[in-house]
Amino acid sequence: MKVLKYLTMLFAMACMSMPLTGCSDDDEDEAKDTATLIAGDYSGTLSVMGYTDQYRAYVGVSRKSADAVAVVVDCDELNMHLSSVILDITAKGSSFELTSTSKAVSGAVVGNNLNLTFSTGSDTFAFYGKK
């Protein structure tokens, strides 16, 4: 009986001396780069500057690098399907500015809202949408 008592105590002490490990949420809280934060699908309205009509449109924003995204615009009502344009990201306080050096496209992301202005042909378009 004494041996069983000592073995039980030894086992209990061994269990207490083992380090306890657990999973933490640190992996999920890793700092995300700017492009990852703003990437996603935005739905909203598209209008031709100078006109009051608004059309349902969708903009897909995908990460290209930590400070660049690709933007694709689709609007079935205007039969508009613009191919991917790469935009650079610049942080401006709590918002992000989107610019292109080679195309007439610019915009801003504030929270889950995207404002985008771009020109095709002789028309300039404005998109406003939410993620």
What are the tens digits of pLDDT across the range 87-124? Answer: 999 998 889 999 998 778 999 999 999 999 999 888 99
Q: Which two tokens stand for residue 99?
A: 């610019």
Amino acid identity at 25 = D
Residue 81 neighbours by CB distance under 10 Å? 10
**Side chain identity, residue 102:** S
> What pLDDT is attached to residue 31?
55
pLDDT at position 33 is 87
pLDDT at 13: 55
The one-letter amino acid code at 62 reads: S
pLDDT tens, 34-59?
Answer: 999 999 999 999 999 999 999 999 99
The pLDDT score that the predictor gives to residue 56 is 97
What per-residue confidence (pLDDT) applies to 6?
47
- Encoded amino acid at 7, one letter: L
In sequence order, what are the residues at sequence separation of 6 or more whose Cβ sits closer than 8 angstroms to the Cβ of residue 3? none
What ranges do the domains of the chain cover?
Answer: 34-130
What's the pTM value of the predicted model, to 2 decimals?
A: 0.73
